[in-house]
Amino acid sequence: MKSKAIVSLLSLLMSLTTLGSFSSLHAASPKAKTFQSHLKEMKHWAGQVGIHVISLHSGKTIWEHHGNEALVPASLVKLFTSYAALKTMGPDNRFTTSVWAEDEPVDGRIQGNLWIKGEGDLLFDSDKASILACQLNEKGIRSVEGGILVDNSYFEPLSTQVCLDGDCSDDYNPVISATSLNFNSIQFQVSPGKRTGAPVLVTCSPPGDYVCLSNQGITASRKVSNSLKIQSRGATGDGRERFQVTGRLSSGDKDGENFRFNVDDPANFVARSFRAFLRLAGIDVRRPYTGSGRLPSNAKELATHESPPLGDLLYGLNRYSNNFMAETLFRSMGAKAFGNPGTMEKSLAVMQRIIHELGIPQQETFLDNGSGLSRKSRVSPRAFCRLLQEAYRDPLVGSVLLESMAVCGQEGTLRKRMCDCPFIIQGKTGTLADVVAFAGYVSLPGIATEAVAVILNDVHNIIAARKAVDCFIQDLPMLSSAS
């Protein structure tokens, strides 16, 4: 059903290939803007503006301003990552996470350690980990005499964090490893205690003993404003991570507060969490040992989980601009193309090959990661339009990429933008502290489908700049028919 919907939507876009008359709507708007007036508005809020608009019917440029200038694109980079992964792996590619042991179970008992090895699953979460644990139970396994080890050797280095501007503290700076769980992050839920002055109640997900918690948070009276904080205090040295809760939480705040943190030690985090899932599935793990360990060559696979196909995974990656998914996919792409381990060098080589195949001039692109969390990456608006144009011509890749994009006024990063627009607008957004960007498709029955890329750098008012970009995109059909 979903594939039919994708094809139908792509067919709709491809049917809108003849310029119709837009003059009546244009005439009815006495304050109608021109390309130049929109450009002037965007320049008011940004030091650098790059725009490229092409007709997907004719392939001709409708309008551009510094279209070949390479600018900081922010999360628009995810379009290149997605397109390159689809061309390299195919939309049906799946990622596995498996459990192994050196020996077959005897009388329901594993004599040694268990190993978990992932191969870059973008969306392995608590539900999937629980299913894996239950698979072991269904095989009759009731106890593990050893510990739990995680093999992250499908990527090199074994783990890394992608940070922006040297600051790794924000939760949008993902910690990447080939074997992951819940985006390698912990979710804390804090609620008031039973009475004023009592400690706050703290729960965390996923289960396990990775978190070493110091709870100094206090339940305050209803009239007190919340001042609750949770901070990571770093690794404990024994495979855990310290977190400290401080401040006050109003007793009237029944919903409590939520906090999310990326973990310092993904191997121990996955291992300790999986040990908890095993116990919930009725499997006792005798030794507390956890950590990183290379899978022995004679190990036997006990259970495995396959991810949904890549085409489905891109839906979450692009619509919600998930940095963890983008960076994980980026490394998996390198492993797929050149053999594991997946490295940045291999992935960048894949990307350069794709850029060359697209016919994009070398000076118009420089990429150093897969998510756009970088100020070194540079891509021109014309390069994005070239990618969108080639994807549009490719029924297999184009339909999947299109379906993964956010839709104006619906869900994803465009759910609160251009909500009253009568056109079909699907695209990818990009935002940093001084960057506003958009790349995607604009269509209206009777009007040719257009690909557009707008990149604003040196932005000094994000909200105003974003509004100016939205106004330009919504006016595109009118501007194109008048030009």
368-391 pLDDT, tens digit per residue, is 999 999 999 999 999 999 999 999
Whose structure tokens read 């070398």?
362
Q: In what helix (H) or strand (E) does residue 9 lie, and over which residues does it extend?
A: helix 2-15
Quote the DSSP letter at residue 410: S
Alpha carbon distance 80, 70 (integer Å): 14
Would you say residue 30 has pLDDT above 90? no
Residue with tokens 């995607």: 440
Residues 290 and 272: beta-carbon distance below 8 Å = yes
Backbone φ and ψ for 351, nearest 5 degrees, come out as -65, -40
Q: Tell me the C-alpha distance between 388 and 280, whole Å.
A: 47
Query: Which residues sit opposite 428 in a β-bridge?
Result: 439
User: Could you count the other beta carbons within 10 Å of the beta carbon of residue 258?
Assistant: 10
* pLDDT higher than 70, residue 2: no
Domains of the chain by range and CATH?
2-92+310-482 (3.40.710.10), 96-159+266-306 (3.50.80.20), 184-262 (no CATH)
**pLDDT of the residue at 167:** 86
Residue 481's pLDDT is 78
- pLDDT tier at 226 (50, 70, 90 boundaries)? very high
Q: Is 331 helix (H, G, I), strand (E, B) or coil?
A: helix
**194 burial type by CB count under 10 A (0-12 exposed, 13-18 middle, 19+ buried):** exposed
Single-letter code of the amino acid located at 364: E
pLDDT at position 3 over 90: no
Q: With a cut of 90, say whether residue 21 has pLDDT above it.
A: no
Dist. CA 73–CA 71, nearest whole Å: 6
The H-or-E segment that residue 304 falls in is strand 300-306
Residue 483 pLDDT level (bands cut at 50, 70, 90)? low
pLDDT band at 169 (very low <50, low <70, confident <90, very high): confident
What's the mean pLDDT when you consider all of the chain? 92
The confidence band for 231, taking pLDDT boundaries of 50, 70 and 90, is very high
Tell me, what's the pLDDT at 10? 41
Q: What is the mean pLDDT of residues 407-424?
A: 88
Q: Determine the pLDDT at residue 408.
A: 92
What pLDDT shows up at residue 9? 40
pTM above 0.85, yes or no: yes
Q: How much of the chain, in percent, has pLDDT values that exceed 70?
A: 92
Q: Report residue 480's pLDDT band, with 50, 70 and 90 as the boundaries.
A: confident
Q: How far apart are CA 434 and CA 456, in angstroms?
A: 8
Question: What pLDDT does 478 receive?
Answer: 85
Region 307-312: what's the mean pLDDT?
Answer: 97
Q: What is the dihedral of CA 411, 415, 419, 424, to 10 degrees?
A: -50
Q: What is the pLDDT of residues 39-75, one digit of tens each?
A: 999 999 999 999 999 999 899 999 999 999 999 999 9
Q: Residue 419: its pLDDT value, please? A: 84
The per-residue pLDDT for range 191-201, each reduced to its tens digit, is 999 999 999 99
